[in-house]
Amino acid sequence: MGGFKNFLLRGNLVDLAVAVIIGTAFGKVVEAFTAWLTRQVGADGDDAFFANAELGDAAFFVNTVISFVTLAAVVYFLVVLPYTRAKEKYFPSAPPGTPEDTVLLREIRDALTARQA
């Protein structure tokens, strides 16, 4: 069970899952905007920019944007925040200060300097 916990919390599994979810949702926003813009311009090459404008198209685009923001908030509050808290609880970040290897290298440097003097 400990290995599975390490796999979930140490790897980038959650980051990848969040990226796929948000990317898919954002793809729908772009798709809706493209469909709306295409209808505004007119796919038949007509120069009347707003000739085909319908309130339903704009409402669909706004609906998609609201859906995306809602999904992003749900993913953030129900996946990212608990994941970050669990990661800090089980794998706390290193305390601020000088890393051990730097301290060891400074000791070696000082010993060599003292030896040469």
Q: How far apart are CA 9 and CA 82, in angstroms?
A: 11
For 22, other C-beta atoms within 10 Å of its C-beta total 15
Structure tokens at 101: 């290897």
Which residue stretches of the chain are H helix? 2-10, 13-41, 55-75, 81-90, 100-116
Say which amino acid occupies 52.
N
CA 29 to chain centre: 16
Task: Please give the single-letter amino acid code of residue 61.
Answer: F
Token digits of residue 55: 């309130």
Per-residue pLDDT of the chain (117 residues; tens, 9 = 90+): 677 776 666 667 778 888 888 888 888 888 887 777 667 666 555 544 444 555 566 777 777 777 788 888 888 888 888 888 888 888 787 777 778 888 899 999 999 999 997
Is pTM beyond 0.95 here?
no
